[in-house]
Amino acid sequence: MDFRSDTVTQPTEAMRIAMANAIVGDDVYGDDPTINALEIWAAERHGFEAAIFTSSGTQANLLGLMSHCGRGEEYLCGQQAHNYKFEGGGAAVLGSIQPQPIQNEPNGTLCFKKLEQAIKPDDIHFAQTKLLSLENTINGKVLPLDYLREAREFTQRHNLQLHLDGARVYNAAVALNVDIKEIACHFDSMTICLSKGLSAPVGSLLLGTKEFITRARRIRKMLGGGMRQAGILAAAGKIALTEQVNRLQTDHDNAKRLATSLSELDGFDINVEHVQTNIVFAKLAPHIDTLAMQSQLKKEGIIISSGNPLRFVLHNDVQASDVDILVERIRRFITAN
């Protein structure tokens, strides 16, 4: 049982069969029929003109940022944004793009007033602000649809592009009980990770206009991300998007189950109402030795993260009964220590 992340998910049986039987070609020549079919289908399905398959979510975000912004230009994002904090500074290192982070509000949104103040005037002293990048879900929280509408208006008013790091955008759509297009329609570009809660082994998508995706394709090649018989991966990716979406609700239910049970334990501070999708954060009292707990659980075949707050992620490879076992083992650890 591994509660560290939804990235640990194993491909499903249907994915393994589809991968074994995928018809492939050289995708750098544009010859891989399975990749081509996925890109065309995904663009249509999400309401964009075009799509590109990438090796990872990090690469999809980087291609997005580099296709929107040039050298000496700037993107606005959250302090907690994955594409600011957790991607090795790739936009700055590889794209010469300056990030302008803004503190995220407790619900994950970015305040438009603060964003407005951060937009640089047209002055030779400043980098040129080109893009606002949002993330949905962010730390498991869902950005409200009204907020997305406002973000669209805000970027139009300020002549900015709007990008979504949609690594877990399907979790957001399931939590809101809306079609994915109701989220996607607000953005100029969007990424989707196929290899997180949707269980594909590898790969993400970047979506946008034809012109934008053509730029991204050039950059992907430059970054060494042009893959050859990648249809083997796309075959699993298509199943991720067609067969794995509906079951995300189970992960959300399991997250609530875990949060509710853990919140009853001594020293665990969890706001159960804040658990909206598949991620649970628990603030632990100082007397709980998290490293010792992690190491004890590992001996019992349960892998968790370390840190405080402690993050638990629910996914296809952990069931409700596993959640109950985890809680029981944590209870035992706390009682014994």
Ligand X SMILES: Cc1ncc(COP(=O)(O)O)c(C=O)c1O
Taking the least distance from each CB to ligand X, the nearer of 50 and 193 is 193
CB nearer to ligand X: pick between 204 and 261: 204
Among 43, 193, 265, 318, binds ligand X (CB under 6 A): 193
Q: How many whole angstroms separate alpha carbon 238 and alpha carbon 39?
A: 9
Residue showing the smallest CB distance to ligand X in the complex = 57
Cα–Cα dist 146/24, whole Å: 42
**Among 242, 249, 244, which Cα is nearest to 42's?**
242
Q: Which residues of 71-101 are buried (b: 16+ CB within 10 A; e: fewer)?
A: eebbbbbbebbbbbeebeebbeeebebbbbb
For ligand X, the closer of residues 206 and 323 by Cβ is 206
End-to-end Cα, the chain, rounded Å: 23
Q: How far apart are CA 266 and CA 262, in angstroms?
A: 9
Contact segment (CB under 6 A) with ligand X among 57-65, 242-250, 284-292, 299-307 equals: 57-65
Spell out, one character per residue from 301 to 320, where the chain touches ligand X: x when CB under 6 A holds, - when not.
--------------------
* 163 touching ligand X, by CB under 6 A: no
Residues of span 61-90 touching ligand X by CB under 6 A = 61, 82
Between 151 and 193, CB nearer to ligand X: 193
To ligand X, the closest distance from the beta carbon of 81 in angstroms equals 8
| Rounded alpha-carbon distances, angstroms, from residue 266 to 140, 200, 320 | 24, 37, 22
Q: Which two tokens stand for residue 138?
A: 């962010």
Burial bucket for residue 194 (CB in 10 Å: 0-12, 13-18, 19+): buried
**Single residue of 165, 169, 231, 265 touching ligand X by CB under 6 A:** 165
Residue 35 as a binder of ligand X (CB under 6 A): the answer is: no
Beta carbon nearer to ligand X, 234 or 327: 234
Residue from 32, 74, 135, 188 touching ligand X (CB under 6 A): that is 135
For 34-79, give the DSSP string: HHHHHHHHHHHHHT-SEEEEES-HHHHHHHHHHHH--TTEEEEEET
With CA atoms as reference, report the closest residue to 164 among 254, 46, 323.
Answer: 46
Nearer to ligand X among residue 61 and residue 189 (C-beta): 61
CA separation for the pair 186, 111 (Å, rounded)? 17
Q: Does position 167 bind ligand X by CB under 6 A?
A: yes
Residue 2 engages ligand X in binding (rule: CB under 6 A): no
Closer CB to ligand X, 140 or 333, in the complex: 140
The footprint of ligand X (CB under 6 A) covers 7, 56-58, 61, 82, 135, 165, 167, 193, 195, 204
